[in-house]
Amino acid sequence: MKQLNYIKLDFPARSANEGFARAAAAAFAAQLDPTMEELGDIRTAVSEAVTNAIVHAYPDTLGDVHMRLRILEGNVLEIVVRDKGRGIPDVARAMEPMYTTGGEERSGMGFTIMGSFMDGLRVRSAVGRGTTVTMSKRISAKVRA
């Protein structure tokens, strides 16, 4: 698909930046004229992806989170959240509902939530090299009077 517009953001993996990433993604997506429900889906999915990077990629150090958003032909929003943290040894297992390595306070539902709010979800990871989460959502075309 042809890329029509994009942005890139890099920020430290601090919990204070999760809200900024969520707001930035919603602001960028606004040019597609999404519904409030679609904006909520985007905010939630970005929040989960960025929180995963903050909590799991860099448990003992402060690293960076890289976020790229693209608008593709056909009203498709693509969101990529990448870290260069510790990586996921078993991606298939990590994507199972209720599986977590983050302790009792974590629900283990991050990937499940991302997948339920987005049309596409792909996770690539290498131990010691980081994780890339790619999500996509087709924004509904509005009927104009």
Q: Which residues are catalytic?
A: 48, 52, 106
The tokens of 89 are what?
């040894």
Which segments of the chain does DSSP mark as H helices, in order? 16-29, 36-52, 91-94, 110-117
**CA distance between the termini of the chain:** 28
The Cα 82–Cα 118 span in angstroms is 17
The Cα 10–Cα 81 span in angstroms is 10
